[in-house]
Chain A
Amino acid sequence: MLEAWSDNRVSRWALWAFAALVLTFLMLPTLVVVPLSFSASDLLEFPPREFSLRWYEAFFGSPTWMAALRTSLTLGVLTALIAVPAATLACIGMNRLGGRSAGTVYGTLLVPSVTPGILLAIGLFFVLAKLGLVGTLPGVLAGHAMLAIPVAVLVLYPAVNRFDWAQVQAARSLGAGWFRAFGGILLPQLRFSLLTAGLMAFLTSLDESVISIFVASGDSSTLPKLMFLSLRDQIDPTIAAISTLWTLLVAIIVLVLTLVQSRNGP
């Protein structure tokens, strides 16, 4: 875009130097956390003078952290298993309905993504308290599924709208039931979007912290909730080890997502 000023070296260098600084700022926390997790020292010294795996041992050896890890992964999977089918059905329904009613459904489903997280968290806390479900896995799951539905809808709705419904009509006119028409024709064509939506729903749950902080406790405590509590009390490099593993896991998922999207075409 700025090729016309290619002789204006100084300005273009200044622009890129500035951009490089801002990108460094964005990467800085990750760049610090990863080496720190391999430090041998109790102190948060950077760069570490000696290296070890003791903080990883501390993490994997701790029943509390392991329980939280299991809870987080379980919640992530369950969230995807609930949010993706619910969102897929809703997208099909909205697409076929069209008009005002589709708009109303769409608007309602997006409520969680436009409401401040703290509000959803305390509201859910009050309701679950009334039901005696605070601190239970189903309570946290309700919160995570609710957050993941708009995410899945945003991924799936455009894909469902691109689908050529004449194919389903053809199948129906040849005698296929709705179930057969959807399962045999629509879903296979949506597979990349379904995979993307599933991974995004999983990530949404994995990354969620505010609802967990208010609603989870004991066995239903997620990794982010425990991390939050320990960040408030003291900071030791165990958190760095967890953070590194966490970032690695998310990086892998994002990489898969990118591959899925590039294979799915532009």
Chain B
Amino acid sequence: MTAYPASDPALIADAARERRFFLSLSVPALVIVGLSAVLPILWILRQSFLNIGGDATLANWSKILNSGLTWSAMQTTFLLSGSTLVICVILGTPLALALASTTPRKANLLMIFLLLPLWTSILVRTYGWLVLLRREGLINGALQGIGLTSEPMPLVYNTTGVLVGMVHYMLPLYVLPVYAAMRDIDGSVVRAAASMGATLGQAIRTVILPLARGGIVSGSIIVFVYTLGFFITPAVLGGGKVNPIAIRIERTIGAFQDWGGASVLGMLLLLTVALVGAMVLALRRVAGVRHA
């Protein structure tokens, strides 16, 4: 903003009025986000310390923290997020490399295949996987058709089904930052590696992947943190047998009408996400990864 001469009180008042005016412009957005996001989160925190009668208590916390269901849900959550991350890195990094190694024109065309799923409703995608992975589904038909299996394999309503759905959801979100980082690599650096006799594998390992580190880290954080709170995919493809924390929250509200307990579980999820976020930030500072 323009600096006003401090000597003139009229101008100072004018500047202050202008500041108030500009601050007031953000009020509508702040009110909406405040009332329907920030207030609800604080409400969950408050409710986690209240019993049904509305008195302060620690009973919700001790009950949830002492329940085996909570810890098995936590374990399932981390198992699903970790596995999704590993699979996304394995599938997505080579895809990003292939896209980055072609002309921008071709890459943009292929990008449609990446973006269309991203914009397809999660329910449409989940339904597609349900049809594909059923006992009589296309995948089982194909597996039996080529003689890999004689019996239909249990591919859905279990961890496998949930993982397929989660990887499918997160893969584009992983590939995009990795692709962007690889696109930014100076081509002459890679050519220099080639002229010094590096094989393709060596160049990928020692030049491309280290230079794309920022994108890989960003993509990994997105995948891991995002999947910690996944609800739809495990609810539909897990068939009641795969119960991460989000499913436990829903069941605690729906089946048990235990709002206090659900609030504690919600706070645990929020703490987990915040903790992972803080750890990532700390690691990044130590490792000195930029652009991540």
Give me the interface of A with B, judged by CB distance under 8 Å: 1-5, 8, 11-12, 15-16, 18-19, 22-23, 25-30, 32-33, 36, 44, 46, 82-83, 85-87, 89-90, 92-94, 96-98, 101, 105, 108-109, 111-112, 115-120, 122-127, 142-143, 145-146, 149-150, 153, 178, 203, 206-207, 209-210, 213-214, 224, 227-228, 231-232, 235, 239-240, 243, 246-247, 250-251, 254
Residue of B nearest to A45 (CB): B136
Chain B residues with CB under 8 Å of A44's CB are: 131, 134, 136-137
Given A25-B168, A203-B119, A18 and B228 touching (CB < 8 A)? no
Chain B residues with CB under 8 Å of A207's CB are: 119, 121-122
* B100 CB contact (under 8 Å) in A1, A18, A92, A116: A1
Chain B interface extent, by class: 35 or more
Chain B residues with CB under 8 Å of A228's CB are: 123, 232, 235-236
Chain B residues with CB under 8 Å of A213's CB are: 231-232
Could you tell me the distance in whole angstroms from the C-beta of B135 to the nearest C-beta in chain A? 11
Give me the interface of B with A, judged by CB distance under 8 Å: 1, 18-19, 21-26, 28-30, 32-41, 43-44, 47, 91-92, 94-95, 97-101, 110, 113-117, 119-132, 134, 136-138, 141, 168, 171-172, 182, 185, 187, 190-191, 193-195, 199-201, 203, 208, 228-229, 231-232, 235-236, 246, 249-250, 253, 259, 262-263, 266, 269-270, 273
Residue of B nearest to A126 (CB): B43
Chain A residues with CB under 8 Å of B182's CB are: 1
* A89 CB contact (under 8 Å) in B25, B40, B134, B168: B25
Could you tell me the distance in whole angstroms from the C-beta of A249 to the nearest C-beta in chain B? 10
* B32 CB contact (under 8 Å) in A86, A92, A118: A86
Could you tell me the distance in whole angstroms from the C-beta of B273 to the nearest C-beta in chain A? 6
Say whether A15 contacts B97, CB under 8 Å.
yes
Say whether B172 contacts A26, CB under 8 Å.
yes
**A18-B94, A29-B124, A119-B44 provided; 13 other pairs, C-beta below 8 A?**
A5-B203, A8-B200, A30-B120, A105-B30, A116-B228, A118-B266, A122-B44, A123-B39, A127-B40, A209-B122, A210-B231, A228-B123, A231-B127
